[in-house]
Amino acid sequence: MYPAIHRLVGAPFFESAARLFIEAQPPRSAWLDEYGSGFPEFLAGFATAASLLYLPGVARLEWAVNTALHAVDAAPLELSGLAAVAAADHGHIAFVPHPSVGLVAADYPVDAIWRAVLSQDEAAMTAIDLAAGPVWLMVERNASGVEAFRLPEPEWRFMSDLCASRPLQEAIDAAPEIDAASVLAGHLAAGRFIRFELP
């Protein structure tokens, strides 16, 4: 479930951390695909890992990837339904994201770390600049598999509002730096929402 974390810290460290996590947060369901969501926050407070500041962010990305991998299939939103909404109600539309869509923000280039570690690319790992600044990532499952890619921060925040089912006009007003209509159209075309609701 956390292969990059396992490789980053080594088996003894990982197994010790996992054992302490299980003791602190035992499974509450027989469906183990859902278990482990709290591990990134556990790592953030794990004193032994305090020097590895990027570790919780890598774990959050891995959990988002795991969630996308095991998410149920869902048909994308039919755009004809949107077209039928009265113009006066457009601003009240609240979107529901596809179950495989996830958003991760991190203070370090955790996507580069994740890829380099999983591919065991020492050169790529050495080239990573931890001071390069934060990243805003989207994770989704598509026909090619699970992908994680960067978004500009304003677009990420706009998508975060939409994924939280914030009313469309509120999300647009909170993102004056972007062409919200164009960005939304791209997400709809990619099938990242499965339905919408009106209050």
Summarised one tens digit per residue, pLDDT across range 168-195 is 999 999 999 999 999 999 999 999 999 9
pLDDT tops 90 at residue 1:
no
Task: Pick 27 or 102 by higher pLDDT.
Answer: 102
* Residue-level pLDDT at 31: 61
The token duo for 54 is: 């990027």
pTM score, two decimals?
0.92
Question: Residue 77, Cβ neighbours under 10 Å: how many?
Answer: 20
> Which of these, 169, 57, 177, lies nearest to 113 by C-alpha position?
57
> Residues 170, 172, 173, 177: what is their CA dihedral angle, to the nearest 10 degrees?
150
Single-letter residue type at 134: P
3-state class of 140 per DSSP?
A: strand
Task: Say if CB 150 and CB 108 are below 8 A apart.
Answer: no
The token duo for 167 is: 């009313």
* Residue-level pLDDT at 29: 66
> Which of these, 43, 76, 163, 65, lies nearest to 115 by C-alpha position?
65
Q: Which helix (H) or strand (E) holds 94?
A: strand 94-97
The token duo for 193 is: 């929402």
Distance CA 137, CA 171 (A): 18
pLDDT digits (tens, 9 = 90+) for 32-75: 667 889 999 999 999 999 999 999 999 999 999 999 999 999 99
The token duo for 91 is: 């601003």
Q: Which domain holds residue 176?
A: 3-197
Region 121-137: mean pLDDT is 94
Question: Domains in the chain: how many in total?
Answer: 1
Distance CA 128, CA 111 (A): 10
Residue with tokens 């050495």, as numbered in its chain? 126
Ordered alpha helix ranges (H), 25-173: 39-44, 55-70, 79-83, 110-118, 122-127, 153-163, 168-173
